[in-house]
Structure 1
Amino acid sequence: MIGFLVAGLIIGALARLIKPGKQDLSVLATLGLGVVGSLIGGIIAWVIGTGSIWELDLLGFVLAVVASVLLVGTAEAVTGKSGHRELR
């Protein structure tokens, strides 16, 4: 369980680094998005047939990071916070 949370935090942090702009997300939000992203990546990898949902192999890891990047973008859209400022 602790390994799953650490992997989620790493995946969430990678997603925030990949996503352009500044995200106003807390550490808990990063952890949550990383855990959800790793679950999504694991499920997709399992459906494809490359491994188990609980084993994060290379394809599952890449898919988890991609899913987390999409989740970070979605969280920005929902909260209305974006790293881009409008020029007036």
Structure 2
Amino acid sequence: MKGVAITGILSWIIVGAFAGWIASIITGKNAQMGAIANIVTGVGGAIFAGFVLKYFGIDGVTGFNLYSIIVAIGGATALLYIVGLFKK
């Protein structure tokens, strides 16, 4: 059982890194972000998008699938945009 949990966590770290990286490219911040920032942005974006979508009655992150990766990328992009508004 512990192996499954660790595998799930590692999977989401990888997905978070990918989602954060794509979001940083979309927002033009790729040169400013490192791997850790991409992971934090991607995982944070997935959580953010999950909460927002649940508020509107839509399933957010539903597991390890393409829909969830797209949600994570969208959430990470929104998160970077919002953070950028406060940095100006």
Return 5+ residue gaps in structure 2 as ranges.
1-8
TM-score with structure 1 length normalisation?
A: 0.64
Going from structure 1 to structure 2, the CA distance change for 1:17 and 1:2 (only over 3 Å counts) comes to same
Q: How many residue pairs get matched?
A: 76
CA contact (8 A) 2:60 2:71 kept: no
Going from structure 1 to structure 2, the CA distance change for 1:8 and 1:50 (only over 3 Å counts) comes to closer
CA contact (8 A) 1:42 1:60 kept: no
* Equivalent residues in 2 for 1:8-87, closer than 5 Å: 8-19=16-27, 21-23=28-30, 24-43=32-51, 44=53, 47-49=57-59, 52=62, 55-80=63-88
The letter of the residue matching 2:33 is L
Report Cα offsets for 1:19-77 as digits up to 9, x if no partner: 2x3452333222111011122344537x524873xx13332222211111111112223
Pick the aligned partner of 1:3 from 3, 11, 15: 11
Whichever structure has more helix as a proportion of its residues is 2
TM-score with structure 2 length normalisation?
A: 0.64
Which has the higher Rg, Structure 1 or Structure 2?
Answer: 1
C-alpha RMSD of matched pairs (Å): 2.5
CA contact (8 A) 2:24 2:33 kept: no
Return 5+ residue gaps in structure 1 as ranges.
81-88
Look up the SS of the partner of 1:48 in the other structure: coil
The letter of the residue matching 1:10 is F
The separation in 2 between residues aligned to 1:74 and 1:60, in whole angstroms, is 21
